[in-house]
Chain A
Amino acid sequence: MNPLESGLAAVVDPVTLLCLIIGLLVGTLVGVFPGITGSMAVALAAGFTLTLEPVQGLAVLLSIYVGANYGDRIPAILVNTPGTPAAIATTFDGYPMAKQGKAGLALVISALASTVGILVSMVVFIIAAQPVAKLALNFGPPEMFALVVFGLTIMISISSKSIVKGVLAGAVGLTLGTIGRDPITGDQRFTFGINDLSGGLDFIAVIIGLFGIAELFDQLLTHREQKTKPISSLGRWWPNKKEYKEMGKPMALSTGIGIVVGIVPAAGGDIAGLIGWDRARAISKNKDKFGKGSIEGITAADGASSATLGGSLITTMALGIPGDSVMAVMIGSMIIWGLQPGPQLFTNNPDLVVSIAAIMIVATVVSLGISLVRMRGMVKLMDLPNYYIWSAILIFCVVGTYTVTNNMYTVIVMLISGVIGLVMKRTGFPAGPVVLGLLLGPLAEANLRRALLIDGPTIFFTEPISAVMLSLAALAIAVPIIAKVRGARRGKGDPGSLEDRLADRTQREAAESKSER
């Protein structure tokens, strides 16, 4: 069998399809509950899927990724609360539509826009991933080191309010990545004679701690009872001809934006949704309708945030650099299965790349079907008391982590990571760079040492690809610092992270748009 046939055959296997359906249902539920993010759910599921075959495990993880992307729009539209950060921009027009008695229409338009966004981005993945991987195959140690530095600095510049804290978080992640045996000589580093530390910190335990436990602990710490009654009258369901026509232009624009944002390491659906909504508003003839229940607005927001999925897969699978936080978890799981995402994946496991594309496409089509079923049951689920969800997350975190190594030491690492993650969250240190540093640290160190040993330090600046990537990395750190200094001189105060600035600006515009009415 050729790779195409064997890749597709692995996906149509009944067990894989069952895994896909389970993942979709879990993902949709995860999306519906605000506060449980896709990365948290994929991190939790990673512990459960390690005993499965790689394709079956990927079916669970990827379909959670897709399912959460649909489920998170439901609370955004019905209660004005995004299920995950990727649905922030959905609230701008989704909730106003629901208040006008068009909740059903908003849900269908959102599902259609998400489907088109993901499917088009997957076509781009199928076309572009192999050439990108082919290019990356020529990368030597200096380019690989520069790529890791580039990915890390982009994540820091996007997610950090304070660049110093962001870089420090990245350095902490890279330092955690040095725990265990040295990748070249095998010397013990920071193991303190503890045998369990020889193999390094368990990545899955750390991410479950940082993304799952830390978030749960923060919710316990800050929870206040507040009830927002979901809108129960869904109204008309299907768009008419004129409404379909209205969706065309923002759909095309936002899908393009989403794919590009998705390719940028660490930039995800939240940023794409906000940019997509903002740009669609800028080119629309009906700007005044944005923020008041515009079909163009909800199409642009959901098309852009969903189209990041394919873009993110390109960066992850072709370069081995996570396109977003969910993909960071995915890379961790793939490494445990003995698969290294990156250019080698396309030569060593081409059938797996086919399976990944097929899983994403099937999961998207099935998700569309689930989304079009009238979701009154989902609305009721939002009333589920928090204590059920908290205790379920906690036991899933503990059991999921335990099964990674069948050793209580891993659970202790997870719990400590959770407490550290909570402290980081409350003190303004982003968790993303820690995870990325831990994941890519050994790769960065090994390539740095090889490059210096073979060619000396000048190689990083004489090789064009590494020189460009290191320059971009320097810019990614310098630009926010310069913006901050200029903002302070003008008396505007701290502009915050890129995510915060975009969210603040678009939320302000949406609010102004509403008040003009």
Chain B
Amino acid sequence: MRPSSSTTSGRAGATDAGGERPTPAPRWPEITIALTAVALTGSVLLLANAIELRLELPGLTPRSWPTFLGALGLGLSLILLITALVKAPRPSDDNEATTRAGWIKLLLAVAATIVFIVVWPLTAFVVAAPVFVSAVTAIGGGRGIRALIIYPVVMTGALYAMFNLLLRVPL
């Protein structure tokens, strides 16, 4: 696995094929981010004002702090939006480039986790967990009996023993 820090990760996409001129970055991602932030923080502000108070106390009420945070967030989101509209975006060099296979792996892993969360309470941990581990291993690229059968069974056994027997937490 590669390192997680942005300071150690490879920086992809910062230059064009010649390596001289930075690739112009599209404007829409920053505008979308800013618009989403405006919508979310605006909602916080509205919801904060709608908090029902059982008692009217002197000083700050339970509404005040969330209202302040909502207003602060909305102000900052508007700055983000104005900056995104006015300023030319920098070439994105912070994240490693995604891959098509990566998106498929991610969506399948999220789907497998949701299915596991639904199925686990309906069956039993020792039934659902090995299937889940096997599925995620396969999504990650694992193949063969060792990766898809032996490893999931051993992992489930180890987790079951640790929680049910050692920590006495029922799974």
Interface residues of A (CB under 8 A from B): 33-37, 40, 48, 51-52, 81-85, 88, 161, 164-165, 167-168, 171-172, 174-175, 178, 182, 184-190, 215, 217-224, 226, 270, 385-392, 394-396, 398-399, 402-403, 406, 408, 411-412, 415, 419, 425-428, 445, 448-449, 452-453, 493-494, 499-500, 503-504
CB < 8 Å neighbour of A387 from B70, B79, B110, B137: B137
CB < 8 Å neighbour of A215 from B4, B33, B137: B4
Q: How many A-B residue pairs have CB under 8 A?
A: 221
Task: Check: B106 CB closer than 8 A to any chain A CB.
Answer: yes
Q: Is the CB of B96 within 8 A of A187?
A: no
- Distance between B132 CB and nearest chain A CB, rounded to angstroms: 7
Q: Is the CB of B117 within 8 A of A175?
A: no
CB < 8 Å neighbour of A220 from B44, B106, B116, B147: B106
Q: Is the CB of B5 within 8 A of A190?
A: no
Q: Is the CB of A448 within 8 A of B66?
A: no
Q: Is the CB of A220 within 8 A of B105?
A: yes
- Name the B residues within 8 Å of A33 (CB-CB): 1
Closest to B147 in A: A387
Task: Check: B85 CB closer than 8 A to any chain A CB.
Answer: no
Residues B48-94 near A (CB distance < 8 A): 48, 51-55, 57-62, 64-66, 69-70, 72-73, 76-77, 79-80, 83, 90, 94
- Distance between B53 CB and nearest chain A CB, rounded to angstroms: 6
Q: Is the CB of A88 within 8 A of B159?
A: no
- Distance between A141 CB and nearest chain B CB, rounded to angstroms: 12
Q: Is the CB of B5 within 8 A of A88?
A: yes
Closest to A49 in B: B167
Q: Is the CB of B167 within 8 A of A221?
A: no
Q: Is the CB of A395 within 8 A of B106?
A: no
- Counting contact residues on chain B (CB < 8 A from A), the size range is 35 or more
16 contacts between A and B (CB under 8 A): A33-B1, A37-B5, A82-B3, A171-B41, A171-B72, A185-B54, A223-B2, A391-B142, A391-B152, A395-B133, A395-B155, A415-B117, A426-B95, A428-B94, A452-B60, A453-B60
Q: How far is the CA of A386 from the CA of B137 in the complex (A)?
A: 9
- Distance between B158 CB and nearest chain A CB, rounded to angstroms: 10
Q: Is the CB of A398 within 8 A of B113?
A: yes
- Name the B residues within 8 Å of A223 (CB-CB): 2, 99, 102, 105
Q: Is the CB of A398 within 8 A of B116?
A: yes
- Name the A residues within 8 Å of B141 (CB-CB): 385-387
- Name the B residues within 8 Å of A188 (CB-CB): 51-52
Q: How far is the CA of A448 from the CA of B133 in the complex (A)?
A: 47
- Distance between B89 CB and nearest chain A CB, rounded to angstroms: 11
| Interface majority SS (helix, strand, loop, mixed), chain A | helix
Q: Is the CB of A449 within 8 A of B65?
A: yes
Q: Known interface pairs A399-B171, A408-B121. Does A221 touch B62 (Cβ–Cβ under 8 Å)?
A: no
- Name the B residues within 8 Å of A36 (CB-CB): 1, 4
Q: How far is the CA of A111 from the CA of B168 in the complex (A)?
A: 37
Q: Known interface pairs A33-B1, A222-B98. Does A187 touch B80 (Cβ–Cβ under 8 Å)?
A: no
Q: How far is the CA of A288 from the CA of B137 in the complex (A)?
A: 47
- Distance between B51 CB and nearest chain A CB, rounded to angstroms: 5
Q: Known interface pairs A385-B141, A387-B137, A391-B137. Does A217 touch B132 (Cβ–Cβ under 8 Å)?
A: no
Residues B98-121 near A (CB distance < 8 A): 98-99, 102-103, 105-106, 109-110, 113-114, 116-117, 120-121
Q: Is the CB of B106 within 8 A of A187?
A: no
Q: How far is the CA of A452 from the CA of B29 in the complex (A)?
A: 41
- Name the B residues within 8 Å of A215 (CB-CB): 4
Q: Is the CB of B159 within 8 A of A35?
A: no
- Name the A residues within 8 Å of B127 (CB-CB): none
CB < 8 Å neighbour of A35 from B4, B61, B132: B4
- Distance between A216 CB and nearest chain B CB, rounded to angstroms: 8
Q: Is the CB of A164 within 8 A of B79?
A: yes
Closest to B80 in A: A164
Q: How far is the CA of A374 from the CA of B34 in the complex (A)?
A: 52
- Distance between A71 CB and nearest chain B CB, rounded to angstroms: 13
Q: How far is the CA of A438 from the CA of B55 in the complex (A)?
A: 26
Q: Is the CB of B96 within 8 A of A500?
A: no
Q: Known interface pairs A168-B73, A391-B133. Does A403 touch B117 (Cβ–Cβ under 8 Å)?
A: no
Q: How far is the CA of A178 from the CA of B37 in the complex (A)?
A: 18
Q: How far is the CA of A85 from the CA of B73 in the complex (A)?
A: 30
Q: Is the CB of B129 within 8 A of A219?
A: no
CB < 8 Å neighbour of A222 from B5, B90, B99, B121: B99
- Distance between A413 CB and nearest chain B CB, rounded to angstroms: 11
Q: How far is the CA of A390 from the CA of B112 in the complex (A)?
A: 13
Task: Check: B161 CB closer than 8 A to any chain A CB.
Answer: no
Task: Check: B28 CB closer than 8 A to any chain A CB.
Answer: no
Counting from the closest, the 4 A-B pairs by CB-CB distance are: A387-B140, A35-B1, A503-B7, A85-B5
Q: How far is the CA of A388 from the CA of B136 in the complex (A)?
A: 9
Task: Check: B126 CB closer than 8 A to any chain A CB.
Answer: no
Q: Known interface pairs A171-B72, A428-B94, A500-B7. Does A165 touch B80 (Cβ–Cβ under 8 Å)?
A: yes
Q: Is the CB of A189 within 8 A of B1?
A: no
- Distance between B114 CB and nearest chain A CB, rounded to angstroms: 7
Q: Is the CB of B147 within 8 A of A389?
A: no
Give a binary string over B135-163; 1 marks a CB under 8 Å from any A CB, 0 the rest. 01111111000010001100100010011
- Name the A residues within 8 Å of B1 (CB-CB): 33-36, 219, 386, 389
Q: Is the CB of B73 within 8 A of A171?
A: yes
Q: How far is the CA of A298 from the CA of B59 in the complex (A)?
A: 56
Q: Is the CB of B140 within 8 A of A386?
A: yes
Task: Check: B39 CB closer than 8 A to any chain A CB.
Answer: no
Q: Is the CB of A222 within 8 A of B96?
A: yes
Q: How far is the CA of A421 from the CA of B102 in the complex (A)?
A: 17
Q: Known interface pairs A52-B167, A411-B117. Does A171 touch B76 (Cβ–Cβ under 8 Å)?
A: yes
Q: How far is the CA of A167 from the CA of B99 in the complex (A)?
A: 31
